[in-house]
Amino acid sequence: MDGTTEKKARLDNGSSVRPPNPYLEKQDVDVLFHIGLATDKDQLPARFGDVKFVCMGGSTTRMKRFAEFISERLGFGTQNGTVLTDLCSTDRYCMYKVGCVLSVSHGMGMPSISILLHELIKLVHYAGCKDVVFIRMGTCGGLGLKPGTVVVTDTAVNEMFEPAYKVPILGKIVSRPTQLSKEVATELLAAHDSNADYDVTTGNTMSTSDFYEGQARIDGAICEHTLEDKIAYLQAAYEAGVRNIEMEGTCLAAMCGAAKIKGAVVCVTLLDRLLGDQVTMTPEQHQEWEHRPQELLARFFINQLRKEGLY
């Protein structure tokens, strides 16, 4: 395909995703640098056009295990029979595809997930995906919740408890609303197995730019606030409806909202931040708790696919 034909096919592909960037139409080729895919070489519509659920989590091994789990749980099989292949040709992120599910690692923090989201939003657009849902599946600190509880985010808020993602662009702070899908959050909550021995709840999620001081911890290398300051801040967060704290939610909410993609955040709490700072669960508990959002997502996928007669 020559450049012009390729560009036309890339932009008129019926995707429901509209990246709000007029300059994309002017580019002949788009190289998605950090995931190592390009519009002219990688047959994005053929390889990714059927994607319905883009699931992201921090760690590469967890996202590989998630892909294996989904493949088995939903009976999707894998791309080449037995072994899952990492579709990112770079080592910045990893990406696995099983049926209509993409499982992608996002690293830690908003700068990392922001780069990935720019490229994934363009990927699903160029691939012609329709009605795609983006979900972050991760870990967090809880507020007043038993460790191991799963929280489906209602509203993602920043450190000032505002539903806003603030990012410096051209030397100015740009504030974007954090917009998650209420519909997806409701469906996720409904997907919980009532026989499970843990709770799935909802509340506001505070996203921070740091794990230590940024989350009011007093166990980092640097701490200029007191234990009393920390308790007062976490209490104020609780009163503002915050039930868990993590590091990517507001960015995902704002970027999905801007691109008209339904976004959701599902995290398991590793500790109760009202009781302490150190993460001390056993490796066995960690593994078991990390699996809980995965099971919830599997049940959510099955419900959604059944509704569309696809499962």
Known binding-site residue numbers for substrate: 215, 217
- Tell me which stretch binds ligand URA (CB under 6 A): 16-24, 68-76, 181-189, 241-249: 241-249
147 binds, among ligand R2B, ligand URA, none (CB under 5 to 8 A by kind): none
- Sketch the per residue contact string, 129 through 168, with ligand URA: x for CB under 6 A, - otherwise: ----------xxx---------------------------
- Establish if 108 lies at the interface with ligand R2B (CB under 6 A): yes
H runs (alpha helix) in 133-272: 182-190, 227-239, 249-258
Binding to ligand URA (CB under 6 A) within 279-298 occurs at 279
Out of 76, 198, 211, 212, name the contact with ligand URA by CB under 6 A.
Answer: 211
- Establish if 159 lies at the interface with ligand R2B (CB under 6 A): no
The pair of structure tokens assigned to 103 is: 């499982």
Q: Can you spell out the DSSP letters for 53-96?
A: EEEEES-HHHHHHHHHHHHHHTT---TTSS------SSSS--EE
248 binds, among ligand R2B, ligand URA, none (CB under 5 to 8 A by kind): ligand R2B
Helix (H, G, I), strand (E, B) or coil at 85: coil
CB of 215 to ligand R2B, least distance (A): 9
Query: DSSP state, 24?
Result: G
58 binds, among ligand R2B, ligand URA, none (CB under 5 to 8 A by kind): ligand R2B
Residue closer to ligand URA by CB (options 69, 211) is 211
- Tell me which stretch binds ligand URA (CB under 6 A): 231-239, 244-252, 281-289, 303-311: 244-252
Distance between CA atoms of 235 and 241, rounded to whole angstroms? 10
- Establish if 215 lies at the interface with ligand URA (CB under 6 A): yes
CB of 245 to ligand URA, least distance (A): 5
- Establish if 247 lies at the interface with ligand R2B (CB under 6 A): yes
Q: Virtual CA dihedral for 232, 234, 240, 243, nearest 10 degrees?
A: -160
- Establish if 252 lies at the interface with ligand URA (CB under 6 A): no
Q: How far is CA 217 from the centre of its chain?
A: 24
Out of 119, 246, 290, 295, name the contact with ligand URA by CB under 6 A.
Answer: 246
Q: How far is CA 304 from the centre of its chain?
A: 18
- Sketch the per residue contact string, 198 through 217, with ligand R2B: x for CB under 6 A, - otherwise: -------------x------
The pair of structure tokens assigned to 275 is: 């009781």
Contact between 16 and 131 under an 8 Å Cβ cutoff? The reply is yes
Distance between CA atoms of 230 and 213, rounded to whole angstroms? 9
Distance between CA atoms of 172 and 168, rounded to whole angstroms? 5
Residue closer to ligand R2B by CB (options 59, 78) is 59
Query: Cα angle at 99 between 87 and 32, to 5 degrees?
Result: 30
Query: DSSP state, 36?
Result: T
- Please count the other Cβ atoms lying within 10 Å of the Cβ belonging to residue 148: 20
Residues that bind ligand URA (CB under 6 A): 139-141, 211, 215, 245-247, 270, 279
Residues that bind ligand R2B (CB under 6 A): 58, 108, 138-140, 211, 246-248
